[in-house]
Amino acid sequence: MILSVCANPSVDSFWSVKWINKGITNRSKKETFYPGGKGIHVAFALKELGRDVTVLGTWGGQTGRWLKEKCAAQNIAAIGPDLEEWTRICITVKSSSRWDQTELLGNGPTIKAHEAEGFESLYQQFIKKKKPKAVVISGSVPNGFDHNIYNRLISLAGQFDIPCFIDATGPLLKQALKAKPFAVHINQHEGKDLWPTDDPAKIARRLGSFCQVAAVTAGEKGLYLYVDGEIYHASYALPSSKVISAVGSGDCLLAGLVAAISANEDPAYWAKYAAACGTANCVHPELGMLKSKDVDTIFEKVKLEKQTCDAE
């Protein structure tokens, strides 16, 4: 059992818009909708990879109920408080113009104090009773949560020797790092917000001082994984003609890292498998989703380079 924490899930929508003109009506040719939010993507990917997973989230209004139904259809248990305000909607534009892959991210509902307390209480009960093999905490939080929420969740899991994987940004990440999670995933740009460098290998080394496994992604350059003083660089140049959407690739990569660590002791395998999962998302039309058969095919094509270094 793996617990995926998705405090601020979303309904992700793909809008096909040829062009966007300022100040006038613009129409989409087609809209498609998928379960979203980083933790939801992680959960669906883990399920596809054969892992038993539960999602802890907040579920608001009709969009929240729709998300829970989609989780149930995949045999993923969805737990957490039901809210009156609707779960957010996020839009990704598919276009032949410069607007292609533009994202509009909804803010999400405002959670009341007793609902936030209930969320943490349920997390604590689940950890104590189910003792999951791992906890994955990713994404933003709704208004009403404080910036220390992830720090507390990581610390609680640590009391039961349960490894925590974290993917967050800003104050949420900075506070989470103080709790020394087992593994952290960020992208190159998020790393530059923490340290004055855009070198993904340097960012991974510095991040490694806060965790045992540091994963930094750098788009087409691939994954830089720091483990025990060594950098594992895994990459695969997917032909651009095969890329449908990169939205959710980082989440699928994180799911792959969790799955790999739970099944294998070789960090080189972790890096290749995680990179394969991130790439597999790009060839699948549903946002933030992957297929295990694509992962297996891509894994054999992933290139791996290894270098020894000291943490900074």
pLDDT score, position 308: 76
Write out the H or E segment, with its range, that includes residue 154: helix 149-159
Q: Taking the CB of residue 187, how many other CB atoms lie within 10 A of it?
A: 19
pLDDT over 50 (residue 311): no
Reported as a pLDDT band with limits 50, 70 and 90, residue 181 is very high
pLDDT at residue 213 above 70? yes
> pTM, whole model, 2 decimals?
0.92
Cα–Cα distances in Å, from 283 out to 35, 70, 222? 17, 21, 16
Phi, psi of 251 (to 5 degrees): -70, -40
pLDDT tens track for 248-292: 889 999 999 999 999 999 999 999 999 999 999 988 777 668 999
Type of residue found at 104: L
**For residue 287, what pLDDT is reported?**
63
Average pLDDT over residues 227-237: 94
Tell me what pLDDT residue 108 has. Answer: 87
At 123, list the tokens.
Answer: 């997390």
Assign 106 to helix, strand or coil: coil
- Provide the token pair at 287: 């946002």
CA-based max dimension of the chain: 56
Contact at 8 Å (CB) between 179 and 158? yes
pLDDT higher at 309 or 303: 303
